[in-house]
C-alpha cells in the first residue's frame, strides 16, 4: 500500500491543537445547549443488568487484558443492540424505547449493549488551554475498566467489551441480599471502576448513579464530590467479608496544579499506576469517547506506554485496529470516522470468507508513517496483519490513540511540558501548545 511522508517531530503537537481543542469546545457547547435526561437510562441499566451469562474466569485474562487472536469474530451482522444505540441518539422517546429493548437482550447482544455504556477518554495529543483552572487529575490504576452495578440484592461488574467479570454481594446500596444492605427496586448504583487484580480491589474513578439518583447530567466536579463522600458512608470501602466479596477504593482526585501533578505522577499509590486521567471540571458523563476526559502516560508512570501484542511484547511497528467498510476502506471509530487507507479488491475477493465488512482488522504503520491535515491523520502507510482480538471492545482505534502512540515513538508530550503549561497558567492565559 502506498505510503506517505513521515510527520516531522516538533510539528506534531502544534498541528493537533486546533482539532482536539475544537472538539472540546463543541462538547461543552452541546452540554450548555441542553442536558440530557438519563435517569431512565440509569434505571434500565441497573434493573436489567443481570442475565444468564457466567462471569469471566480471571485466570484466562492477563494483566494487560490480552487474549488469543486465533478465532475470527463475525462483526458483519448489525445486531439489535447496535441499531438500538443508534436510534437512542436521535430523540428522548426513541432513546427510551431503545434502552428498554437493549435491557432485554441476552448473550452477545447484551455484551454489545453494555460495551457502549462507559465514558471513554481521548488520548492527550495537545495540552488544553486553562489547564490549571478547568481540569482535575487523578492517577489511573492498571487493570480492567468496568461498569459496576448494584441492584436487586446483587452487584455485577462488566468489562469494556460488555462481558460479565464478577457477580458478587457488596456493601453498595442494594448490592447484597442482607437486611442491612437490601433495599427496594428503586435503589441502585452505577459506578465507573478499574478492577486491580493484584489486590482484588475495584478502584472507583467516577460515579453515574447513587441510590437511584442519576449523576449523568452532573458536572465532574459534583460527581467527584459525591464519589468521595457517599462511598465513605457505606461499608464498601472496608475489607472484604462474607457479604462484601471485593474491596472498593476511591481514586484520589487533585486540582491540576504543580503539587497535584507531582502527586498523581510519582506520589505513593496502593496500585500499579497506568498513566494519568485529566477531567474537565464542567464535563457531564457522556457515553462514548469524549475530548473532555483525557489520558496521558509516559514510560515513568506506566509500563504500557507502547501497545503490546497478545504476548506482552512491543512490536517493531506501531499496530492499529481499523474497521473495514463495504467499499474496502478502513476507518477509525471516530464520529465521523477517518479513513486511513483501503484494502485492494483482489485481496478482499481472495479472503472473502475471513475478511468481511464490519470486521475489526489489525494493521502495522510502516516506515512512511502518517500524513496529517489540521491535526488529523488522513492517510497512513498501513500493512494488513490480521483480524483484531475478538475479546476487545467492538471499536476500532480512535485518531487520538493512533496519534498518541505514534508520538510516543517519535517525540511525545512530556511531563515537563505539562508542568510548564501549569506553571504558565493564569486566569486568562492560554496554555495550549499552539
Q: What's the pLDDT score for residue 90?
A: 41
> What is the model's pTM?
0.80
- The answer, yes or no, to whether residue 249 has pLDDT greater than 90, is yes
**Rounded distance, CA 204 to CA 232, Å?**
12
Alpha helix positions (H), 231-291? 258-266
- The answer, yes or no, to whether residue 195 has pLDDT greater than 80, is yes
Q: Same fold for the domain at 12-20+309-411 and the one at 35-54+78-296?
A: no
Least confident residue range of 173-187, 213-227, 353-367, 413-427: 173-187
CA 16 from centroid of its chain's CA atoms: 21
Q: What's the pLDDT score for residue 181?
A: 54
Tens-digit pLDDT profile for residues 320-329: 999 999 999 9
- The answer, yes or no, to whether residue 298 has pLDDT greater than 90, is yes
Tens-digit pLDDT profile for residues 342-399: 999 999 999 998 999 999 999 999 999 998 887 788 889 999 999 998 777 678 999 9
**Rounded distance, CA 250 to CA 271, Å?**
12
Q: What's the pLDDT score for residue 41?
A: 67
- Residue of 164, 182, 163, 162 whose CA lies nearest to 172: 182
For 12-20+309-411, CATH number out of 1.10.3470, 1.20.120, 2.40.50, 3.10.450 equals 2.40.50
Q: What's the pLDDT score for residue 375?
A: 77
Q: What is the 3-state secondary structure (H, E, C) of 3-48?
A: CCCCCCCCCHHHHHHHHHHHHHHHHHHHHHHCCCCCHHHHHHHHHC
Residue-range domain boundaries for the chain = 12-20+309-411, 35-54+78-296
Q: What's the pLDDT score for residue 235?
A: 85
Least confident residue range of 92-101, 215-224, 265-274, 370-379: 92-101
Cell of 417: 511540558
**Rounded distance, CA 266 to CA 21, Å?**
27
Least confident residue range of 93-107, 316-330, 392-406: 93-107
User: Does the domain at residues 35-54+78-296 carry the CATH identifier 3.40.50.300?
Assistant: no
Tens-digit pLDDT profile for residues 29-73: 777 665 545 566 666 667 666 554 444 433 333 333 333 333 322
- Cβ–Cβ under 8 Å, residues 289 and 39: no
Mean pLDDT (the chain, rounded): 81
- The answer, yes or no, to whether residue 165 has pLDDT greater than 80, is yes
Q: How far is CA 199 from CA 249, 267, 280, 317, in A?
A: 11, 19, 29, 34
Confidence band, pLDDT 50/70/90 cuts, at residue 112: confident
Residues 419-429 have a mean pLDDT of 75
Least confident residue range of 2-11, 328-337, 377-386: 2-11
Amino acid at each position: 500500500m502506498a505510503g506517505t511522508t513521515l510527520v516531522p517531530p516538533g510539528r506534531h503537537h502544534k498541528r493537533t491543537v486546533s482539532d482536539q481543542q475544537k472538539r472540546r469546545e463543541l462538547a461543552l457547547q452541546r452540554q450548555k445547549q441542553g442536558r440530557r435526561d438519563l435517569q431512565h437510562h440509569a434505571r434500565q441499566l441497573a434493573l436489567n443488568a443481570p442475565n444468564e451469562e457466567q462471569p469471566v474466569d480471571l485466570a484466562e485474562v492477563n494483566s494487560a487484558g490480552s487474549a488469543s487472536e486465533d478465532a475470527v469474530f463475525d462483526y458483519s451482522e448489525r445486531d439489535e443492540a447496535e441499531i438500538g444505540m443508534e436510534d437512542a441518539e436521535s430523540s428522548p422517546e426513541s432513546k427510551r424505547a431503545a434502552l428498554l429493548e437493549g435491557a432485554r437482550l441476552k448473550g452477545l447482544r447484551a455484551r454489545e449493549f453494555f460495551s457502549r455504556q462507559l465514558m471513554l477518554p481521548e488520548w492527550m495529543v495537545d495540552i488544553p488551554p486553562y489547564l490549571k483552572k478547568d481540569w482535575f487529575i487523578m492517577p489511573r490504576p492498571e487493570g480492567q475498566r468496568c461498569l459496576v452495578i448494584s441492584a436487586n440484592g446483587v452487584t455485577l461488574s462488566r468489562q469494556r467489551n460488555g462481558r460479565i467479570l464478577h457477580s458478587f454481594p457488596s456493601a453498595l446500596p442494594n448490592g447484597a441480599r442482607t437486611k442491612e444492605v437490601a433495599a427496594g427496586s428503586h435503589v441502585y448504583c452505577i459506578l465507573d471502576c478499574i478492577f486491580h487484580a493484584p489486590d482484588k480491589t475495584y478502584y472507583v474513578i467516577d460515579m453515574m448513579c447513587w441510590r437511584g439518583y442519576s449523576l449523568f447530567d452532573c458536572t465532574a466536579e459534583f460527581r467527584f464530590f459525591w464519589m468521595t463522600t457517599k462511598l465513605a458512608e457505606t461499608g464498601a470501602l472496608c475489607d472484604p467479608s462474607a457479604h462484601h466479596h471485593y474491596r472498593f477504593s476511591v481514586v484520589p482526585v487533585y486540582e491540576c496544579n504543580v503539587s497535584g501533578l507531582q502527586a498523581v505522577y510519582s506520589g505513593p499509590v496502593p496500585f500499579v499506576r497506568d498513566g494519568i486521567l485529566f477531567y474537565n471540571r464542567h464535563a457531564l458523563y457522556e457515553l462514548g469517547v469524549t475530548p473532555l476526559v483525557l489520558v496521558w502516560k509516559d514510560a515513568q508512570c506506566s509500563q504500557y506506554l507502547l501497545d503490546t501484542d497478545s504476548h506482552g511484547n512491543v512490536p517493531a511497528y506501531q499496530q492499529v485496529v481499523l474497521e473495514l467498510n463495504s467499499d474496502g476502506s478502513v476507518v477509525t471509530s471516530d464520529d465521523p470516522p477517518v479513513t486511513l487507507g483501503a484494502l485492494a479488491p483482489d485481496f478482499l475477493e481472495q479472503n472473502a470468507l475471513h475478511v468481511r465488512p464490519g470486521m475489526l482488522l489489525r494493521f502495522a504503520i510502516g516506515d512512511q508513517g502518517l500524513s496529517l491535515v489540521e491535526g488529523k491523520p488522513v492517510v497512513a502507510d498501513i500493512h494488513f496483519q490480521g483480524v483484531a482480538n475478538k475479546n476487545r471492545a467492538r471499536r476500532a482505534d480512535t485518531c487520538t490513540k493512533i496519534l498518541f502512540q505514534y508520538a510516543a515513538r517519535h517525540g511525545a508530550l512530556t511531563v515537563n511540558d505539562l508542568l510548564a503549561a501549569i506553571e504558565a497558567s493564569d486566569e486568562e492565559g492560554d496554555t495550549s501548545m499552539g
